[in-house]
Structure 1
Amino acid sequence: MRSTVARTARLGGVAVLAAWLLGAGGAGGPGAPVRTAVQRPEAVPPQAAPASAGGCEDRTPAPSRSESGPKVQQIKQRGTLIVGVDQNSYHWGYRNPQTGRIEGFDIDLARAVAKALLGDPDKVTYRTVPTAKRMEAVKNGQVDLIARTMTITCERWQEIAFSAPYFASGQRLVVPKAAKVTSLAQGLRGSRACVADQSSSQAVLSPGGNRNPYGTAGIRVVENQLDCLVLMQLGQVDATLTDTALAAAQAAQDPTVEQAGEQIAFAHMGIAMRKEDTDLVARVNQVLVNYRADGGWRASYDHWLAGSMGADPAAYLR
């Protein structure tokens, strides 16, 4: 699906496109952003985001400047940081069709970690990883870390480790504007819904067994959330459930769709790493502390996200 649908979304034009809360990166990013004349969706920040990241955030090591641990030393000796990223999420991890470079908020974050560990933000090897393969890529050591709008959950903590949270989010519905949807329940009831495989959105719509909590007519599961946008444009699905941040990106990318209804399933995003690599997790946590303190998180937000998520990022730093 991704090889056909995601390329269509990237190249087909706008009408057929696709306490430590910290971020990263400089405002410049690894390439200029795609400048498109799109209608900005209404910014709807999270409501009363929870104080904890699913009750699991206390498992992450305290921030540390130490670089003597085995995983950090391995990365320094290799001379490059291997990061699992997305290439289909506009403003987060997106391959710019004009330059061929992957850019966005999560890419800035990866570059910030590389600069801290290796002294150069360009010393990053990007490996694009589908949503459903994120856990596997971390556990098998295919990447040093995943920076890919990944929600922290207690279930995932059983198998991998997370950094401290760097962004507060939730789940939001994306629908064609012509549908005139006013609530999440209305938008999903009797609809053909679309979600990314192994995503938090899939867990919301398919909580297990034969339950169908929102009465959807069917659920289309795809490799990446951008595939849902294309299927919606083609009339093959009626609605997409995805992370709030990615919902805003879809609406910014295609002015014929919009975010609709209330936000649900409040959560936080974190950088994913192997459970064994506690030294790397602690060092990444220190990078996050530094980037919030020196304005890097805010600079990256202003550059990539302010246009689609609102000028004030306070709601996303809970």
Structure 2
Amino acid sequence: MAAACTLAVAATLTPLGDCAHAQARATSRAQQTGQPRGRVQQGEARQARWTTPLDASGSCDASLRPTSGTTDGAAVRRIKDRGRLIVGVDQNSYLWGFRDPASGTFAGFDIDIVHAIAQDILGDPDAVQFLTVPTDQRIPAIQEHKVDMVVRTMTINCDRTRQVAFSTAYFTAGQQILVANGSTVSGFDDSLEHRTVCTADGSTGETKLRQDPHGATVLTVDNQLDCLVRLQLGLADAVFTDNALAAGQAAQDPSVRLVGQPVTQEPYGVAMNLGDSDLVRRVNSVLEAYRSGGTDSPWMRSYRHWLQADLPGIDGPPPPAYR
């Protein structure tokens, strides 16, 4: 447990180096972390297919169509003139966006997408400046143009689409309960009564938990990994988070497990400023290529490398929805 706690560093909007964050794909995750591997039970963490609109009209689940042609808009020109892509990420979400302790570079499923975007726009997958952004600072960072985009397991929902623009979904997860082995909590149900449940401030998990706490006391922290530390220290009885993130936490600490079933659908998208429509279209073009190729697509290769062992049974990315 202590080893997992060491990853819970304070995450602020802080520059982490301009470029040259090469991926550590050739090293296995066990070698990268030195951590014992945990496992999410198959079925509990299976990816939900994105078949239901996020509101009654279906207006929230669709993004701008990919760029056709080669003309750059103002946002893409801004990035090219600067010579680097500025991206808000997490450095604590194992398997998704984390700093590899062996090499000091950033790695994970989200980071692979960042490198693909940088390659397309700038011709260099490492022309990236990473900024760590706490969960509740993702939208302000985008609105204030502190970052060009956030790639940080960020769920697309109707409230957020009024504040930032999203790409099409590149993954779908679901909110689920994570507990220590031996806990009597059975899921997102009345077994939470009189328990302390931890979730990230500003997350979709917090919204759901406040709507229906099942008699629990809600504890919020800046980042999801901080909840794992609270669980390990006995300061929380359960964690409510995306099962995709929980898979990474269980991989770090096999003394925790997911219980019950996912109770939401959480489509992850790349978030950008509402005024940067040309960048949204360009990112969607990148994602179209990223999904293409069937079992040999970049998406599937990244999934097999980072996620398949702990989120088994996923046969491909969610289909894109355009307006």
Larger relative helix fraction:
1
Instruction: Give the superposition deviation at 1:52.
Output: 3.1
Instruction: Give the superposition deviation at 1:281.
Output: 0.1
Aligned to 2:66: 63
Instruction: Give the superposition deviation at 1:219.
Output: 1.1
Q: Which blocks of at least 5 consecutive residues in structure 1 are unaligned?
A: 13-27
Q: 1:53 to 1:117 in 2, by over 3 A?
A: farther
Aligned to 2:168: 164
Higher relative contact order (CA 8 A, sep 6+): 1
Q: 1:291 to 1:316 in 2, by over 3 A?
A: closer
Determine the C-alpha separation between the residues in 2 that align with 1:47 and 1:141: 32
Determine the C-alpha separation between the residues in 2 that align with 1:264 and 1:67: 42
Determine the C-alpha separation between the residues in 2 that align with 1:230 and 1:315: 32
Q: Where do residues 31-110 of structure 1 align in structure 2 (5 Å cutoff)?
A: 32-35=27-30, 36-43=35-42, 44=44, 45-47=46-48, 49-54=50-55, 55-57=58-60, 59-65=62-68, 66-110=70-114
Q: Where do residues 280-299 of structure 1 align in structure 2 (5 Å cutoff)?
A: 280-294=279-293, 295-299=297-301
Q: 1:78 to 1:187 in 2, by over 3 A?
A: farther
Instruction: Give the superposition deviation at 1:41.
Output: 2.3
Q: Which blocks of at least 5 consecutive residues in structure 2 are unaligned?
A: 10-21
Q: Where do residues 216-227 of structure 1 align in structure 2 (5 Å cutoff)?
A: 216=216, 218-227=217-226
Match among 186, 190, 198 for residue 194 of structure 1? 198
Q: Where do residues 1-318 of structure 1 align in structure 2 (5 Å cutoff)?
A: 8-10=5-7, 29-30=23-24, 32-35=27-30, 36-43=35-42, 44=44, 45-47=46-48, 49-54=50-55, 55-57=58-60, 59-65=62-68, 66-207=70-211, 212-216=212-216, 218-294=217-293, 295-310=297-312, 312-314=313-315, 317=318
User: TM-score, with normalisation over the residues of structure 1?
Assistant: 0.86
Q: 1:47 to 1:121 in 2, by over 3 A?
A: closer
Determine the C-alpha separation between the residues in 2 that align with 1:150 and 1:220: 20
User: TM-score, with normalisation over the residues of structure 2?
Assistant: 0.85
SS in 1 for 2:202: coil
Determine the C-alpha separation between the residues in 2 that align with 1:133 and 1:262: 29
Aligned residues: 293
Q: 1:226 to 1:145 in 2, by over 3 A?
A: same
Please say if residues 247 and 311 of structure 2, whose CA atoms lie closer than 8 Å, have aligned partners that are also in contact. yes
Determine the C-alpha separation between the residues in 1 that align with 2:193 and 2:7: 30
